[in-house]
Amino acid sequence: MAARLAADLQGLRYAEDVRRLYHQLRRSICQSLLGLANALEAKDVCTRGHSERVGASARRLGAALGLPADEIDTLTQAGLLHDIGKIGVPEAVLRKRGALDPGEWALMRQHPVIGAQIVAPFEFFADGALVIRHHHERWDGSGYPDGLAAGAIPLGARIVAVADVLDALTSERPYRAALSVDAALAYLAAEAGHTLDPDVVAALLGVVAADGTL
């Protein structure tokens, strides 16, 4: 009996060691990918910190919408990595000061696909890969890369889309000044039910109303 208990205990310890190593590996992979994303943003003062802010906003929105903790964690990681596919877009296109021509725009529109391909080898992040691929889809079907609409767009992607648009509007860009918070929120409210998920926009407005911050 004692020998069996000892063997069972050893098995439990082994299983715990495997779980711990698995989670450490996941963290290491996500941190490495985030390092790539941060390196990309560091080249441009206008986008520096963008992914971190999108990830933070996505986390708050996921909590406001009542998502489970594990889904919120995946959503946050996807928000942090949503633009990692821009690594595959020529720097001349990324840094262009004026409007993109049709060919350049076609290259830019590939970044969600490239981003999803970068994280695709990691099976534990399959849901996050979908968020990255579809964060530029739009509620009315006018987005890319697949022209999904409404509920066909993964919820996480709809959440990151709102967080992404919010941060883009309130950040300085070479071609325009940052909007005020009130102007940005008014824009999001106007797009609710058109290009953006109305429930996610409502959640954002509720969060801002509750604590007064983005």
Region 66-81: what's the mean pLDDT? 94
Phi, psi of 191 (to 5 degrees): -85, -10
- Tokens at 59, concatenated: 């986390």
How many of the other CB atoms lie within 10 Å of CB of 47?
Answer: 19
In angstroms, the first-to-last Cα distance of the chain is: 60
Q: Assign 45 a pLDDT band (cuts: 50, 70, 90).
A: low
Q: Which domain holds residue 124?
A: 2-211
Report the CATH number at residue 53: 1.10.3210.10
Task: Give the whole-angstrom CA distance, residue 4 versus residue 129.
Answer: 44
List 192's β-bridge partners, or say none: 196
Counted domains in the chain: 1
- Please determine, for residue 7, whether its predicted confidence score (pLDDT) is greater than 80: no
Task: Give the whole-angstrom CA distance, residue 180 versus residue 19.
Answer: 46
Task: Give the whole-angstrom CA distance, residue 101 versus residue 25.
Answer: 42
Q: What is the pLDDT of residue 4?
A: 63
Residues 6 or more apart whose CB falls under 8 angstroms from that of 133 comprise 112, 113, 115, 116, 145, 146, 157
**pTM for the predicted model, two decimal places:** 0.85
pLDDT in tens, 84-117: 999 899 888 888 877 889 999 999 999 999 999 9
- Tokens at 75, concatenated: 């959503």
Task: Give the whole-angstrom CA distance, residue 47 versus residue 134.
Answer: 20
Q: What is the pLDDT of residue 61?
A: 97
Q: What is the pLDDT of residue 13?
A: 61
**Closest C-alpha to 150, from 115, 158, 104:** 158
